[in-house]
Structure 1
Amino acid sequence: MKTPAEYLDAPVFYLTYPTGEIAEQVPVVSYDDALRAVETALADAEKYRYLLMRALRRTQELEDAVPFSPAGADVRPLYPDIAA
């Protein structure tokens, strides 16, 4: 996944006072650039959501295909010479 700064591929300006002094390093971007970055991030989130849901469905299908039954399982000692 990308970091939030990677979605913003527009110039970032820093807010300054009328005297020219930088105002606490506050980054400023245009509204259109910010809106474009948010739309791109939401599209990526939707893609990741789809991939996650698909992986969860596949995992669930695998768990349903291989039933786990501990009561009927054949238990063997890991070290047969010690487990006497």
Structure 2
Amino acid sequence: MKAPADYLNCPVFELTYPTGEAAESVPVVAYDDAVRAIEVALADAEKYKYLLMRALRRHATDTQVSYPAMPQLPLPEEATDTPVRPLYPDLAA
């Protein structure tokens, strides 16, 4: 996989203050170049995602893992003696 700087195929400038002094050595690129680099990086990410998912599917068919069965809990019994009261008694019509 490429490093983020490998996607930039454009001139990179160093940011300077109006006085000409270098400002924290921050690299600066043009907006269009940055957008182009991001689009290429996203396309590569989709490709790597596809390859990873394909490898995971192949690996899953090779190794069958048996998981323990989930415990079956009994359903609650319906109680007839439980009173049902409205949540908002003033609104009950």
Q: Which has the higher contact order (CA 8 A, sep 6+)?
A: 1
Query: SS where residue 34 of structure 1 aligns?
Result: helix
Q: Which aligned runs of 4 or more in structure 1 are off by greater than 6 angstroms?
A: none
Code of the residue aligned with 2:19 in structure 1: it is: T
Unpaired stretches in structure 2, ≥5 consecutive residues: 67-93
TM-score (norm. length: structure 2):
0.66
Match of 1:19 in 2: 19
Q: What is the CA–CA distance in structure 2 between the aligned matches of 1:17 and 1:59, rounded to whole Å?
A: 54
Query: SS where residue 15 of structure 2 aligns?
Result: strand
Q: What is the CA–CA distance in structure 2 between the aligned matches of 1:35 and 1:50, rounded to whole Å?
A: 23
Q: Return the offset for 1:17.
A: 1.5
Match of 2:52 in 1: 52
Q: What is the CA–CA distance in structure 1 between the aligned matches of 2:15 and 2:42, rounded to whole Å?
A: 27
Query: SS where residue 25 of structure 1 aligns?
Result: strand
| Amino-acid identity (%) | 70
TM-score (norm. length: structure 1):
0.72
Code of the residue aligned with 1:27 in structure 2: it is: P
Q: What is the CA–CA distance in structure 2 between the aligned matches of 1:48 and 1:17, rounded to whole Å?
A: 40
Q: What is the CA–CA distance in structure 2 between the aligned matches of 1:17 and 1:41, rounded to whole Å?
A: 31
Code of the residue aligned with 1:24 in structure 2: it is: E
Aligned length in residues = 66
Match of 2:74 in 1: none
Give the CA RMSD over aligned residues: 1.5
Deviations 1:28-79 (A, max 9, x none): 1000000000000000000000000000111111124xx88xxxxxxxxxxx
